[in-house]
Structure formats: C-alpha cells, structure tokens
Structure 1
Amino acid sequence: MILFATTVYPQKGEILFFQTNWGNTLSWDAFCERAKASGFDGIDVWLPNEAESQQQLNAALKKHDLKLNLMHGTDNSLPFEESLEAYKKKLYVLVSWKPVVINSQTGSDFFSMEQNTAFIKAANAISKETGIPIYHETHRGRFSYTLPITLDYLKKISDLRLTADISHWMVVHESLLEGRDAMLSDVIAKTDHIHARVGHAESPQVNDPKAPEWKRAVDRHLDIWEKVIRKFWAENDRPMTVTSEFGPPYYMPALPYTQLPVSDQWEANVYMMNIIKQRLGLD
C-alpha cells in the first residue's frame, strides 16, 4: 500500500509552479530531478494506471521533494451514465494521493447542459467531501469550450471553480479576447488555477513564446494571468498554483516529414514560469 503525505502550503502571496509531464519520455526519477533543477515546485501529471509506475512516481516525488497536481477528464467515448460513474470512481482514486490540485477536463461540448452539470456537481461534491481542490479547465471540446457558454455555467453553479487555460479560447474565438475584459472578469473571479500556455487566433500554442512576433499574445495572457493571481492572493491565505503547459508535437508545431518540433518544449515551460515571476516581482 502506498502512503501519501498531506500537502503543506507555503504562505500567502506565493505561487507554486508545476511542470507538466505531457509528452515526457524520461523515467519518473529523471523527470522529477530535471523539474526540481529547473525551479519547479511540483509536477502536473495524468496518474499512470500501472502499480509499478505509480510506485516509481511516488518515490520520485519524495526523493526530489516535489508537490503533485493530478489531471482528470470525462471519457467522451462512453455513454453519459457510464461515463459519469467512471469519472466519479477515478476521482476517488486521485484524491487518495492528496494532490495540491486536481484539474478536470470536464464534460463534453456534445453533452447537454444538464449532463455537463452532473459531472461538475459530482466533482464539487467529492472535493467538498475530501478537502481536495478540484478545478474545471476551460478547454476545447468540454463544457467550457467558449467564454459565453462558460459564463452560463458560472451563473448556474455557484461553487464552480475554474482552471483558466485561456489559450483555448484564443483560438476558439479567433482573437486575443481584446475588448472582452468585462466578460473575462467573471471568469477571473472564479479561477483558482492557471495553465500557462500562450495561444493565438489560429492555434492554442505559439511555436516559441520567446519569439518577438508573439509579444502581443504573450503580454495579453500575462495581463489576464496577473489579474487572476492578484485577485486570488487578495482573497485566499494559500498560494496560487500555475502549471507551465506548453505541449509536445502536435501542439508544438513540427517540421514536415521529420516531425521535429520547431522549438524546445521544456525550455518554453521554464520560460513561462520565469516571465510570470518577473511580472509579479517574484524573481
């Protein structure tokens, strides 16, 4: 049996930064070692199914003194009732790890509002029962795939808390959401976690956030993230959590034929952490 330590939070006014394992090919030990050396406080992962891999993950977290966020999502390949039961069952497995945050890619853009609401309410009930925060990510293909529709859910479900991944909405709405700050303010008020990836009108991920041609997009995301973080700090006595979430190909554009990524995913995620720290005077 694997035993997990209860999360201990730092003081107010801080941010915990997490490195995604999306696209990772390293062992858990090597991945955690590199994340720690790069300055991350923890890692953000989909829990592996295999018991041996889970044991290796737990050992690496302890060895390198890293915190854990866990990913979850609705299985849209199943019929609604079956999918809902599977969703709840897996959430109970995830909360047993006592992560800092569970991030949920919840529901489906093909489910009705009532069906999606059932997933949200199930997660919120389990969060209340266990004390583990479960946040619902703004994500294409999920209940929250557009800004206006997400606002409808926020009006309906008072305890709905969000992970803001604004990059998805940039491409869905084919804009940097300029002129939509009034609408975004309601989302900002309900956001407790951030996925720090920079999107633009044609894609949920720029090829390299350091490139000067993406400065406007990067600055727009930073403007929104800063509002989220400062509001969170003002209202909570625990740190904000941020996952640097630039992904591998084919989120990362790749060259034809060779399929080589056009820039370095790890470097992009470290860069996102550092520019957020600089923006907030934490560097």
Structure 2
Amino acid sequence: MKIPLTLVILFSSFLGFSQEKKLQFFQTDWGRQISYDAFCEKTKAAGYDGIEIWLPKDPKSQNELKLALKKHDLKVGFLNGTNRTVSFEESLKQYVAHFKILISWNPTYINCHTGYDFFSFEKNKAFIDAANKIAKENNVPIYHETHRGRFSFNLPDTKKYLAAIPELKLTLDISHWMVVHESLLQNQDSHLEEIINRSHHIHARIGHAEGPQVNDPEAPEWKEAVERHMNIWEKVIRKQWETNDIFTITTEFGPADYMPTLPYSQLPVADQWKANIYMMKLLKERFNID
C-alpha cells in the first residue's frame, strides 16, 4: 500500500526528521593577502558557505567586502572583541557600539573575543550580559569564543560563567584549552558535558598539549589529536542538531607565526589554506555530506 506523502511528512516530523540536517562552513579571513574579491571567489570555489572576518575599519574596504560577498553569494560571520588596551568602561562602550554596526550587515552570527582573563567575574559578566541583551533585541546569534586571554581561557572558569548566565552561548575553539590544560582533556568528559551543550559554533583547528595549532593536521603524528577534536565536535554538532537544522563551523588554522615556522627564514612549515580545506573535508566525511 502506498502511503500518502502528507502522512510521510507528518510522521517524519513527529520523529524529528522533518528537515535535512546541514553544516555551513565559513573560511577564516585571518592571514588573507589577496583582495576581498579574489578571496571570496577562492572561498566559494572551495565549497564554503561564507567567511568569518573582523569588519575592516575604513569605508572603502567595507564597500569592497560587501560587493565581494554579494558577487560570490557568501554569508558572513563577524568577530567582535573586548579592547584590552583601554579602561573597562571605555572597552564596554566600544564593544556595544560595534555590535550595532555589525548587525546592520545582517550577519549569520557574531563571534566574540569577550572579556579579559585579568578582569573580575563581574566585569567579564558585564560584557556577556550586554551581548546577550543585543542578541535578544535584534534576533542575531551572538556567541562567545573559548579563547586564551579572555573570560573563557580555561574549562573550570568557563563553567562558572555558564552556571551563572543561562543565556551564555559559546563558540567552541577547544584547541586553546588543549594547550592551557596541557592535554587533550582525556578523562574530562564529565566537565565537558555542559560546554558541549552550550556550544553553538565551532572553530575547527587542531591544538595539542604544547600549542594551539599543530603544524599539519594531515601528518600521522597528530592522528590522536585530530580524532580527539573530531569526537568532541561531533558531540556538539549532534547536540545542536536536536533543535536546529543548521550548524555553523569556521575552519580556523592560522597563518605564520601562529602556524609554526622555520627558524631564520620564518617560512611556514605547512599550507594554511590546505589545512583549512582538510578540516572541512574531514567534517564532511564524518557526517556523510557531499
């Protein structure tokens, strides 16, 4: 007996399979040395959905960026951050004001380098609360990256903020914590559970016990580190897919000198673009996505 399509749709919806689950990939602008147009063309051709970028300060560059995004049909995820070189009051003022500019671009999300590891809990919370208020008022996803030097520089302290701020949503760049805690966080899965539940975006870079970025993720000596990151990321993605059909990921291997370099010549030991493409490839294979 042939089942009517409407019943199939209703049954699928009941089971939670109403739409295909998707990953959207963003390429980092970090280290870009070509024009916005050329970079966006290259990014689109590689199979990305968008780019992640700090908004350029000058109007001419902003216009070039806007034209390139439109021409190559790319989404944009912006970064915003706490200025650690000025007073707390001035930094908070700048942080809030910049959100208003970024939101006018209708970004897919805004990822934040929030707070300062030398600020008090209350001062860091002020930045998070301000961002959450703006996110709610403007219906724009705003996430706070797990990052050295920020409120979220380590796992135990980040959990304190999560407990105190139910609306806090993370960008998980767990490579930072691998070096902070000098491990691949083995035997810390119970501590990672709430982090996984509250992560809404991923920075796909492989760290290790002695650094935030391996020299080449394809090298066999990093197999354990790659698999550890992939296992954690998969838990994050599958958790978010329970309530959202699309999950965003930025491939974020950085350029020299974040990329290890040779002495004297300072030439990078691997190719940043190739490393980022490899991360996208691994994740697509992991989830059987073309």
TM range (shorter): over 0.9
> Structure 1 residues 12, 82: closer, same or farther in 2, change over 3 A?
farther
Q: For 1:230 and 1:282, how far apart are their aligned partners in 2?
A: 14
Answering whether residue 175 of structure 2 is matched by residue 170 of structure 1, we say no
Q: For 2:32 and 2:265, how far apart are their aligned partners in 1?
A: 19
Answering whether residue 252 of structure 2 is matched by residue 245 of structure 1, we say yes
What pairs up with 1:69-88 in 2 under 5 angstroms?
69-88=77-96
What pairs up with 1:116-155 in 2 under 5 angstroms?
116-155=124-163
Give the AA of the match of 1:174: E
Deviation of the 1:12 alpha carbon: 4.8
> Structure 1 residues 153, 54: closer, same or farther in 2, change over 3 A?
same
Correspondence for 1:95: 103
Q: Is the 8 A contact 1:74 1:108 kept in 2?
A: yes
Deviation of the 1:41 alpha carbon: 0.6
Unpaired runs of 5+ in structure 1? 1-10
Secondary structure of the 2:116 match is coil
Secondary structure of the 1:219 match is helix
Larger Rg: 2
Aligned residue among 264, 284, 287 for 1:277: 284
What pairs up with 1:203-242 in 2 under 5 angstroms?
203-236=211-244, 238-242=245-249
Q: Is the 8 A contact 1:43 1:66 kept in 2?
A: yes
Answering whether residue 64 of structure 2 is matched by residue 61 of structure 1, we say no
Q: For 1:269 and 1:91, how far apart are their aligned partners in 2?
A: 28
Secondary structure of the 1:195 match is strand
Deviation of the 1:258 alpha carbon: 1.0
Count of residues in correspondence between the two structures = 272
Secondary structure of the 1:18 match is strand
Secondary structure of the 1:154 match is helix
Runs of 4+ in 1 over 4 A off after TM superposition: none
Give the AA of the match of 2:249: V
Deviation of the 1:250 alpha carbon: 1.3
Give the AA of the match of 1:115: K
Secondary structure of the 2:242 match is helix
Q: For 1:36 and 1:47, how far apart are their aligned partners in 2?
A: 19
Q: Is the 8 A contact 1:12 1:233 kept in 2?
A: no
Q: Cα RMSD over matched residues?
A: 0.7
What pairs up with 1:107-122 in 2 under 5 angstroms?
107-122=115-130
Kindly provide the CA deviation profile for residues 138-175 of structure 1, in whole angstroms up to 9, marking residues without a partner as x: 00000000000000000000100000000000000000
- Identical residues among aligned pairs (%): 60
TM-score normalised to structure 2 length: 0.93
Aligned residue among 245, 250, 256 for 2:263: 256
Give the AA of the match of 1:120: I
Q: Is the 8 A contact 1:46 1:71 kept in 2?
A: yes
Correspondence for 1:161: 169
Deviation of the 1:91 alpha carbon: 1.0
Kindly provide the CA deviation profile for residues 160-198 of structure 1, in whole angstroms up to 9, marking residues without a partner as x: 000000000000000000100011010000010000000
Q: Is the 8 A contact 1:162 1:192 kept in 2?
A: yes
Q: For 1:158 and 1:234, how far apart are their aligned partners in 2?
A: 19
Q: For 2:85 and 2:99, how far apart are their aligned partners in 1?
A: 18
Secondary structure of the 1:44 match is strand
Correspondence for 1:6: none
Correspondence for 1:7: none
Answering whether residue 27 of structure 2 is matched by residue 19 of structure 1, we say yes
